[in-house]
Amino acid sequence: MSTRGVFLRARDLEPGFAAGWDDLVAARGTFADCFDTHVWAAAVFGAYPETAERARIAAVVDDATGRPQSVLALQDHGGGRYTTLAPDRPRSRVVSEQADLTPLAEQLARGGVRDLFLRRLPSRDPATHRLLGALRRTGYRVHARERSHDMLAGVEDGWSGHRARFKSFHTHCGRADRKIRAHGGARLDAYLEPAAVDEAFDTYADLFPRSWKGPLADRTRTERRELVHRAAVRGWTRLYILRVADRPAATYLWFRVGAVALWHSTAYDEELAPLGVGNLAMWRAQEHLLTEHLHTTDDTESDQPPGLVDLLPTTTAQKNRLAPERPPLLDVEAVRERPFASAALPVRALARTAHAAAVGRLRVRARSRTTEPTPPGGTPS
C-alpha cells in the first residue's frame, strides 16, 4: 500500500477522509475514544470557529483512496508551536493501528511542528508509545510525565459479571429503587436513533439548570447538540433519562464506540437527589449498555457487549466505586531543532528524578500554551 503524509486544515477535510477517520477510531476496540473522532471535532468546529481556524490535522493517508491510516489532531499556536486540538478536552490520542508511526512524525516535522505539547495521552494505549518512539527517531527530544489517570472498568461476562463485580453498588441502587417506588417509581428511557436523540436533547439540557451544575453555556449547548446528533447518525449515542412518576429526574449521556462504553456527562434534579436518582440512573444506564446486544441477532462487533466502561479522567465518589483501573495519562512535550531543558526520560524514571526545577518550568510553559480564552467544551459536564 502506498501512503503519503498530509497536514490539513479543518476546511480541507473531505467527507471520505472524515468517514475514514471515524472508521479508524471505531476499529480500535477497547482503545476507541469518542473524543478523537471527526464526529467530535466537527461539533467543536461548528461551535468554535476560532478553534476550527487553528486546527491542523496531521495524517498518513492511503494514496489510492485518500482515507487516513493515522491521524493526530492538533491546534496551531503560531511560531511552530502546536498542542492537542482543543487542549481542555479530557484526553487525547494518536489514532492509528500502524506498527510504525515514523511517517506521521516525519509529516509533523515537514509541516513545521517544532514544539509540540500533547495533553493526557493514555499510557495503556500502545499507539502512544509508538508515537513517542517515532518522534524520537525523527529528531524530536521527548519529555513525558504522568498527569492524572484514566477511570476504567474492564468488562468480563457481560452484565452478569459486571453486576457481580460491583455487588455493593448494585445493592445500593436496589435500595434506591425501592425508596423511589413510594414516589411513583422510576423508569429509564434510552434514546439512540437520531430523531429520538434530537427530541430528547432539550430534556437532557433542561435538567442542568435544575442540578448543581447550572445551565449549559450557549456554545456548549450548541456543540453538544451537534455532537449527540452526529454520533447518533453513526449509531454511537446513548442518551438516558430517568423519570420519577414521569418527571425527568436524572440524565446520563454515553457513547458506544468500538468496544468502549464511554460516559460523557450527567445532571440530576437536586430536589430528587435524596432519593438516589443519580446513582440509579448511572447503574441502569450501564445495565442497558451491557445488555442491549442481547436483543439483536447479528454477529457484528457493535452487537457485542462492550469490553470496557470508560468513566473519563477526574475523580468522584461514584467513580471511585465503579472505576478500579486507573492507568496513568501522560503529558508529552516534543521539541525539535532547539535546546531542550532536560533529556528525554522514561515516565517511571521521571517520577523519581531530582530535576524538579526543569519539570516546574515545563508545567508553566505547558499551561501558558494550552490556555484558551473561550475553551471549546471538551471537559464533560
Cα separation, 319 vs 238, in Å, equals 19
Average pLDDT, the chain: 89
E strand map for the chain: 3-9, 55-62, 68-76, 81-84, 95-96, 115-122, 140-149, 152-154, 186-191, 237-244, 247-257, 260-268, 308-310, 328-336
More confidently predicted of 224 and 344: 224
Q: Which residues are within 8 A (CB) of 362 and not within 5 positions of it... i.e. 6 or more apart?
A: 143, 145, 333, 341
pLDDT in tens, 3-54: 999 999 999 999 999 999 999 999 999 999 999 999 999 999 999 999 999 9
pLDDT in tens, 268-304: 999 999 999 999 999 999 999 999 976 544 444 456 8
Counting every residue, how long is the chain? 381
3-148+329-370 and 152-322 agree in CATH topology: yes
pLDDT in tens, 108-141: 999 999 999 999 999 999 999 999 999 999 999 9
- Residue 234 carries which DSSP code? T
> And the C-alpha cell for 231?
454520533
Cα separation, 61 vs 63, in Å, equals 6
Q: Where are the domains of the chain?
A: 3-148+329-370, 152-322
- Do residues 258 and 28 touch, judged by C-beta distance below 8 A? yes
- Helix axis angle for 38-47 and 218-233, nearest 10°, is 150
How does 340-354 read in b/e, with b if 16+ C-beta sit within 10 Å?
Answer: bbeebbeeeebeeee
β-pairing verdict for 81-84 and 115-122 = parallel
Cα separation, 132 vs 340, in Å, equals 16
Q: What percent of the chain has pLDDT over 70?
A: 86
Please provide the CATH number assigned to the domain covering 152-322.
3.40.630.30
Please provide the CATH number assigned to the domain covering 3-148+329-370.
3.40.630
